[in-house]
Chains A and B, each alone.
Chain A
Amino acid sequence: MDFKGMKRRDFLKNMGVAGLTAFVASSPWVSAFSESARTQKEKIRLGIIGPGSRGRHLMHFLCKNPKVEVAALCDIYRPSIDAALRLAPGAKVYADYRQLLDDRSVDGVFVATPLNAHYPIVMDAFDAGKHVFCEKSIGYTIEECFRMYNKHLETGLIFFTGQQRLFDPRYLKAMEMVHAGIFGEVNAIRTFWNRNDDWRRQVPSPELERLINWRLYRESSKGLMTELACHQLQIGSWALQKIPETVMGHGAITYWKDGREVYDNISCIYTFDDGKIMTFDSVISNKFYGLEEQIMGHLGTVEPEKGRYFFEDVAPAPGFLQMLNDVERKLFDALPFAGTSWAPETANENRGEFILGERPKGDGTDLLVNAFVEAAITRRQPERIAEEGYYASALCLLGDQALQEKRALTFPDEFKIGYLNHQRTK
């Protein structure tokens, strides 16, 4: 690990996309880019199923990638198709996703429909031989997620989920530091996502309410758990390299009593087999603390969303951290620390250091999307990415179930996929 990199302003500039592979030890899926130079002249044809606001956000990056032709679009809502055609004017439009899947010239699909529609589309897409990028949460139930994951294994086709933090340079660097033990033993991860709005989209006419505001209705969404928790819970397994065993919590509609069916106020506690804790809280009637995943070690705290880290009373000295780095590579270098005496008054206030030496830019979505393109071209599924995606979805769904049933739940053995500590016991 390059500790000098923690403060180097030109970190990202020097890194480039291929340079991401420096993180392969702690985040093996970045190996997706290892052949990106060799695939320069390749081109794949992709279809977008559900080019709504999220789908078009993904398209925005795909359309900039010279290795991609967005060849097909499918949506049941015409304004979405019209907006998507402005991004990819040459794309063929399908009214039924099955027809799009029948198009043999399409290599892979992006599925960005409402949650309840993911499962049939993804299963059919695998059956049609397409590589699949599915937005999170991938399934409406854990069983759906489990079947989708197994289908990916059976077909050998590429399977990515919309967990963009997996490619966010802030998170990649933060996890490398966490795994190197810089913040000591991590005993708790506190995640929260707070907003102060009704989470509604404008509806042009009343019959479109459930179609456009699908996030607010149980038949099509599990609300804050499937839309927000999914991103944050994944941070726990990434940081601790472990999957939680149990979850309990409480959820209710306490403020936005406007006919919605999903909770606007949620608190969940996930526990690991060694008693460590990960929490998820979401309130959408107060935005003061915003969103964050606080990774709490006994030596320090990382807040990857803000892109900062903090140490408890005395931070380790960068010069000595550099030495730890050097000895790993058997290097003998000078330690930059000597000078007139260090005094607390001359040290910075504990306002934290930027993980990448600068304010965060981008959130990894572009890299995630482009990593999928690389994987689809090389037909090589990067290690662990489908598994991370599976558990992100399974955990948020298990949490929702705990809220609905108002009881503590243990992760079902039959849905363990033999990842990390989740080996099947039978």
Chain B
Amino acid sequence: MTVHFLYKKLGNSPKHLQYAWFSAMHTRVDMALYHASKELLKDTACQIYAEVARLEQTGSFYSAESELCAVNRHAAAKPVAISRDLYRMVELSLELHKKTLGCFDVTVNSGSYDSQTIAGVALEKEAQTIFYRRPDIKIDLSGFLKGYALEQARAILAKAGLKDALISMGGSSVLAIGNHPFGGGWKVDFRTAKNGDATAVRLHNRCLSTSGNEIPGQKHIISPHTGKYIEGIGRAAVVTETGTEGEALSTSLCVATARQREEILQRFKAEQILID
């Protein structure tokens, strides 16, 4: 069994709170759902697990067997027909690249990267193909996949008729829909890197995304301006409507200049929780 479950009955109500967790996408996924039917809860969590695992097979930059890796190997030679999900993810990434003034760039891991690299990615809607106009392009969806998975999870929850849920992908991408059993929205806490104080944020039909180089010696965000790992900024956390926006925005804020930040935030109508 890959998904783990714990249940708690909600007082005198016939409902149960289900806590389900599993590992996927090189991190852990935790979710809280509640309903009267344990079967429905369990089934929904399993569907979400299956979906996350499927997306990992599709969009992982690190797993050689993923669809994305096959694209990275072959798309410079000729247009490659791709799945609906991969097409949609790349398409969204390109849109978000524009919307973030170039700060969110899924091609930063390409060889001889420059700010024009991403323009070499060509999508063909009719044929649902992708083609790399430059030979050394590599798309890396790592900073995006979890947000996309949250949106897929949201659709599964809606289909199951579950209106209240909290899903965390590794703590850095959180989707909160509806309400906690005993309060409005869901309250999430995170420690600021600098002084260790807790910061709580209440989420209601929103996503919380955090990006940053919090762990010493584990830099992973590359600036499209310089092509190098960013220094200085610890974390950027934002609250957005969708997980995909959240991922692009939090990553962008880590690499943006102060002026760019202001403009990007306005474009997304998002709330910036912290930059430290």
Contact = CB atoms under 8 A, between A and B. Distances in A.
A324 B198 contact: no
Secondary structure class of chain A's binding surface, majority of residues? loop
Contacts of B98: none
Interface in A184-211: 184
A210 B244 CA distance: 79
Interface residues of A, number: 35
A337 B189 contact: yes
A37 interface: no
B187 A340 contact: no
A423 interface: no
B70 to A, nearest CB: 25
A320 B182 contact: no
How big is the B interface, by class? 35 or more
A314 B189 contact: no
B127 interface: no
Interface in B5-41: 6-8, 10-11, 17, 19, 21-23, 26-28, 30, 32
A336 B189 contact: yes
A314 B24 CA distance: 10
A316 to B, nearest CB: 6
A289 interface: no
A239 B170 CA distance: 32
A260 B93 CA distance: 79
B28 A314 contact: yes
A320 B170 contact: no
Nearest to A336: B189
Interface in A294-335: 298-299, 312-314, 316-317, 319-321, 323-324, 326-328, 330-335
Given A334-B189, A334-B198, A335-B189, A340 B21 contact: no
Contacts of B4: 184, 299, 312, 314, 316
A317 B191 contact: no
Contacts of B237: 338
Interface stretch (A81-89, A102-110, A342-350, A356-364): A342-350
B153 to A, nearest CB: 16
A182 interface: yes
A330 B189 contact: no
A259 interface: no
Contacts of B235: 339-340
Contact of A317 (B7, B28, B182, B213): B28
B6 to A, nearest CB: 6
Contact of A328 (B8, B190, B201, B218): B8
B58 to A, nearest CB: 19
Given A314-B4, A341-B170, A324 B19 contact: yes
A1 B167 CA distance: 23
Q: Which of A184, A326, A336, A340 has the most CB of B within 10 A?
A: A340
Contact of A334 (B187, B210, B211): B187
B172 interface: yes
A19 interface: no
B208 A338 contact: yes
Contact of B189 (A331, A338, A340, A341): A338
A181 interface: yes
A338 B190 contact: yes
Interface string B173-208: 110000011110011111100000010110000001
Interface string B134-149: 0000000000001000
Nearest to B25: A341
Interface centre among A326, A330, A337 (most CB of B within 10 A): A337
A182 B6 contact: yes
A323 B183 CA distance: 12
A340 B214 CA distance: 7
The 9 lowest CB-CB distance pairs between A and B, nearest first, are A332-B183, A338-B190, A334-B187, A341-B172, A334-B189, A341-B170, A340-B214, A342-B170, A334-B200
Interface of A: 181-182, 184, 298-299, 312-314, 316-317, 319-321, 323-324, 326-328, 330-346
Given A330-B182, A340-B171, 11 more contacts: A181-B6, A314-B4, A316-B6, A324-B8, A334-B187, A336-B190, A336-B198, A337-B30, A338-B190, A338-B237, A339-B172
Interface of B: 1, 4, 6-8, 10-11, 17, 19, 21-23, 26-28, 30, 32, 146, 166, 168-174, 180-183, 186-191, 198, 200-201, 208, 210-215, 218, 235, 237
18 contacts: A299-B4, A314-B21, A319-B189, A324-B17, A327-B182, A332-B182, A334-B189, A336-B190, A337-B30, A338-B171, A338-B189, A338-B237, A340-B210, A340-B212, A341-B169, A341-B172, A345-B218, A346-B215
